[in-house]
Chains A and B, each alone.
Chain A
């Protein structure tokens, strides 16, 4: 009996368990999946939770609801991966041998990486919506907050879902308008990058959004510390920005287990071949989703596309065939712009998001890089798609793993 071990039962690990349990002969392969948690979160819902648009119970289900029959779910944490011995040491004292290892351990916030971020004011006036608990705490704060300076802040790249903080700013504008208190709130978006939009076509198409929503912007801000006493954030160049309510995206890092195993880069992301998803160092180790260092967005749609290609590659690896260099960095994301509207973007390693039609070239029905109510309903419908199709590795009609160039306006 040969053994596949999957580390992490989040979006990527769960999809791989689904795909492989359908593809592999159970008489010759066993599949185990390890996670320390019992809950599976619909992470895009963390964006809506602070504004009370989703209830906590809408976005959490038991991990085991999505683990296919015949796959062994091991509920414990990972002590260490020992690649040379082809084994994983678990916190419960057991050791798992593997013929193929799939690392799907994701990324986590690391507020302790920034001086003062997790200080006195943490969850008093300094919040993050990048965790379930954090998003709930922010919801409670917003219920009674009377206004002032709201600073929405990105610590450093890369982060999971790079547009989420911008969406948060747009939704905050709508939220305070609906509460009749927009004039009492000053919203400032603070980024380490050169702008809220950094790609040329997006900048042209979307720059109006910030002015329209009266969101101020501070660019090239590399945070050094959070001053809890004076309620300011300070950057390495000496610039300071005052806040009454700081909504920050802390540094994102890979799992500590990756660090303990010596498998990661300086942010604990695993060096991974960007086209095959094989570890750059160990041929029997594959990596998917946020845990990789591949240069595309850390996002659920990316994981969905990666899972289809990784499944093919693992089947090729088992047969001793050459791996196809198929993954193109494809991502497809709805972006909330507030007021019941959203955008849709579709891009990959080589092609920036542009206008056009999706998923059927020339027809749509969705429009790329344009605000519409229809896209917003698409985003809301996606929660159902996630629980009922994506996690069960059911294909989404007309949407292929490799990005389609047709229907997109590149010139």
Chain B
């Protein structure tokens, strides 16, 4: 389905995860963050950039992985993205949520 984010038509899943990363830019990230009551700071962007790089390299993301990344520890990750941080951060980063096989 399509959703208007920041004035653009963006392809998303029913839960609002983007399905085409090429449509993502920082202003889209800001708009999705605002929908989740988060105002992005440079610290947020460091984490989001890390998440996007890992995704591009096909590395599965987990809370532990992010905690060990050297970019942010788990406590701060929860401070930056308080509700379901991994899900919220991946949504803002424009990449699919972490999934299982079914």
Residues of A within 8 A of B (CB): 113, 156-158, 162-163, 166, 192-194, 197-200, 202, 206, 219-220, 222, 224, 236-237, 251, 265-266, 274, 293, 295-297, 331, 333, 335, 345, 347, 353
Residues A194 and B102 in contact, CB atoms below 8 Å apart: no
| B86 contacts chain A at the CB level, 8 A cutoff | yes
Residues B86 and A222 in contact, CB atoms below 8 Å apart: yes
Which residue on chain B has the smallest CB distance to residue A331? B101
Which residues of chain B have C-beta atoms less than 8 A from A251's C-beta?
64
Residue of A192, A199, A293, A331 with highest tally of chain B CB at under 10 A = A192
Give bound CA distance, A365 to B60, whole Å: 35
Which residue on chain B has the smallest CB distance to residue A223? B63
Give 27 A-B contacts (CB < 8 Å), ordered by A residue. Answer: A113-B64, A156-B63, A157-B60, A157-B62, A158-B62, A162-B100, A162-B101, A163-B100, A163-B102, A192-B62, A192-B63, A193-B97, A193-B98, A200-B13, A220-B84, A220-B86, A236-B74, A237-B78, A265-B59, A266-B64, A274-B58, A295-B58, A296-B101, A331-B101, A335-B102, A347-B101, A353-B101
Known: A157-B62, A266-B65. Contact between A237 and B101, CB under 8 A? no
Least distance between B96 CB and chain A CB atoms (Å): 10
In the complex, the 4 A-B pairs of residues with the closest C-beta atoms, listed nearest first: A220-B84, A198-B99, A202-B102, A222-B63
Which residues of chain B have C-beta atoms less than 8 A from A265's C-beta?
59
Known: A194-B97, A198-B97. Contact between A236 and B63, CB under 8 A? yes
Least distance between B75 CB and chain A CB atoms (Å): 7
Give bound CA distance, A147 to B67, whole Å: 36
Which residues of chain A have C-beta atoms less than 8 A from B68's C-beta?
266
Quick one: which of B13, B77, B97, B102 contacts A206, CB cutoff 8 A?
B102
Residues A297 and B101 in contact, CB atoms below 8 Å apart: yes
Q: How many residues of B contact A (CB 8 A)?
A: 27
Which residues of chain A have C-beta atoms less than 8 A from B59's C-beta?
265, 293
Which residues of chain A have C-beta atoms less than 8 A from B85's C-beta?
222, 237
Provide the main secondary structure of the chain A interface: loop
**1/0 per residue B82-102: CB within 8 Å of A?**
111111000000000111111
Least distance between B9 CB and chain A CB atoms (Å): 20
Give bound CA distance, A163 to B102, whole Å: 8
Residues A220 and B102 in contact, CB atoms below 8 Å apart: no
Which residues of chain A have C-beta atoms less than 8 A from B87's C-beta?
194, 220
Give bound CA distance, A274 to B58, whole Å: 9
Which residues of chain A have C-beta atoms less than 8 A from B75's C-beta?
236
| B14 contacts chain A at the CB level, 8 A cutoff | yes
Residue of A162, A166, A199, A220 with highest tally of chain B CB at under 10 A = A220
Least distance between B97 CB and chain A CB atoms (Å): 6
Give bound CA distance, A193 to B60, whole Å: 13
Residue of A194, A202, A265, A296 with highest tally of chain B CB at under 10 A = A194
Known: A236-B75, A237-B78, A295-B58. Contact between A193 and B65, CB under 8 A? no
Give bound CA distance, A398 to B78, whole Å: 48
